[in-house]
Amino acid sequence: MDKKNKNKSNQNINKTSVYNPKNIRDYDTYDDYDEYDEDGYTVPKRQPVTPRGSGSSANRKKAPVKRTQTKRGRKQKSRGAYMAFYLLTLLAAVLICIGVFWAVFNMVTSGESSSGGSTQNPPTTQGSGQIVATNEIATTGLIISTNPRANSLEVLDIETEQVVTFTINQNTLMRSRTNEPLMFSDFNTGDIVDFRYPEAGSIVSSMTQSPRSWEQRNITGVRINLENDTIIWGNESYTFTENLKVIYNNQSVDISEIEANSVITMRGLGRTIWYIFVERGIGVLELVNAEEIQDGIIEFDGARPATLLSEDEEENRISLLEGSYRITVRGSNISTFAADIFIFSGQTTTLDLSSAEVVAGTLNISINVLDADVFINGERIRVSEPQVLSYGTYTITATHPNYENFEQTIEIDSAETSLDIVLVQAVSFTRVTIESTPSGADVFIDDIFVGITPLTIPLDMQNISGRTVIFRREGYQERSITMFEWQDTYRINLTPDPFFNHQDTPPPVIDDEND
Q: Which residue has the higher pLDDT, 425 or 94?
A: 94
* Range with the poorest average pLDDT among 50-54, 87-91, 229-233, 409-413: 50-54
Give the tens place of pLDDT for each residue, 242-292: 999 999 988 899 998 888 889 999 999 999 999 999 998 889 999 988 887
Which pLDDT belongs to residue 300? 86
Q: Which residue has the higher pLDDT, 351 or 510?
A: 351
| 3-state percent breakdown (helix, strand, coil) of the chain, nearest 5 | 15, 40, 40
Geometric angle at alpha carbon 380, from 374 and 382, rounded to 5°:
70
Which pLDDT belongs to residue 131? 35
Residue 515, pLDDT > 90, answer: no
3-state secondary structure of 77: helix
Geometric angle at alpha carbon 310, from 306 and 311, rounded to 5°:
165
Q: Which residue has the higher pLDDT, 165 or 117?
A: 165
Q: pLDDT category, 415, cuts 50, 70, 90?
A: confident
Name 260's Cβ contacts closer than 8 Å, sequence gap at least 6: 220, 221, 222, 223
Name 369's Cβ contacts closer than 8 Å, sequence gap at least 6: 398, 400, 403, 423
* Cβ burial 73-103 (10 Å sphere, 16+ → b, else e): eeeeeeeeeeeeeeeeeeeeeeeeeeeeeee
Percent of the chain with pLDDT over 70: 75
Q: pLDDT category, 312, cuts 50, 70, 90?
A: confident
Top mean pLDDT of 169-183, 251-265, 280-294, 426-440 is at 169-183
Give the tens place of pLDDT for each residue, 278-301: 998 889 999 988 887 888 888 888
Residue 54, pLDDT > 50, answer: no
Residue 222, pLDDT > 80, answer: yes
The pTM score is 0.46
Mean confidence (pLDDT) of the chain: 79
